[in-house]
Amino acid sequence: MTNTEDRDGAKAPSEEEIEAGRLLFRKPWGFVTSVARLDQLPEEGLVEVAFAGRSNVGKSSLINALTGVKGLARTSNTPGRTQMLNYFGAPEAPLALVDMPGYGYAQAPKALVEAWTDLVYTYLQGRARLRRVFVLIDSRHGLKANDLEVLSLLDRAAVSYQLVLTKADKIKPGQLQRVMQDTAKAIAKRPAAYPEIIATSSEKGEGLAHLRAEIHKLTLM
């Protein structure tokens, strides 16, 4: 591993990019609003990045770790608890973070699942300031069938997305490398997939500086 690579082998950001990301997420982040219908969406102005993933993949924990605000995004052991688009922002930040409904839950009523899916897809298609969707994948399990369905939805919506592995501290480095390689191979020919994969651990802080730097770069686009 060289000084230009993270532990997972991905190209590491420069020191300047790391610092810019740190300063962006050092701001006092807070909850802005929850959106259950499209007419509740905030007026477009800020750059938006969204986070998607299977229920209990660690999405809320990652948002809390990125912002350094414990409990900002609510965590739960109950699949499907995040049922709306939840917006987070910070004073003078050119960015809004959007926590999307978790997918892959089995307990929610079918009609509710369909309503959430319609909301999310319409949001993805129509949000001009949405720069990227970060799709979270549990590094212990890799891509599952419902993950691939969501990637296909993002491809159809022509929305740039990037995969982020969570809970990277829970597996051995060799296993993580194999998951990275298998994941990269699975998305190689997907039209809307950003090729670089970031491995993270909300608990240990691994990969967070890299992800913050990547998000900061999106605010400059």
Query: Residue 107: is it exposed, middle or buried by C-beta count within 10 angstroms (0-12/13-18/19+)?
Result: exposed
What pLDDT tens digit does each residue of the chain (221 aa) get?
Answer: 333 445 455 678 999 999 999 999 999 999 999 988 888 999 999 999 999 999 889 999 999 999 999 999 875 444 444 578 999 999 999 999 999 988 875 556 677 667 777 888 889 988 999 999 999 999 999 999 989 989 998 999 999 999 999 999 999 999 999 999 999 999 999 999 999 999 999 999 999 999 999 999 999 98
Segment holding 183, helix H or strand E: helix 173-187
Alpha-carbon torsion angle 104, 110, 114, 119, nearest 10: -80
- Predicted confidence at residue 82, as pLDDT, reads 53
- Predicted confidence at residue 74, as pLDDT, reads 77
- Predicted confidence at residue 6, as pLDDT, reads 58
pTM of the model: 0.91
- Predicted confidence at residue 3, as pLDDT, reads 35
- Predicted confidence at residue 177, as pLDDT, reads 96
- Predicted confidence at residue 1, as pLDDT, reads 35
Please enumerate in sequence order all residues whose Cβ is within 8 A of that of 214, keeping only pairs 6 or more positions apart, or say none: 13, 21, 162, 196, 198
- Predicted confidence at residue 221, as pLDDT, reads 87
- Predicted confidence at residue 103, as pLDDT, reads 81
- Predicted confidence at residue 119, as pLDDT, reads 82
User: Is there a contact between 49 and 215 (Cβ–Cβ < 8 Å)?
Assistant: yes
Domain ranges of the chain: 15-219
- Predicted confidence at residue 114, as pLDDT, reads 73
Helix extents (H) in 28-144: 59-67, 110-126
For domain 15-219, the CATH superfamily is P-loop containing nucleotide triphosphate hydrolases (3.40.50.300)
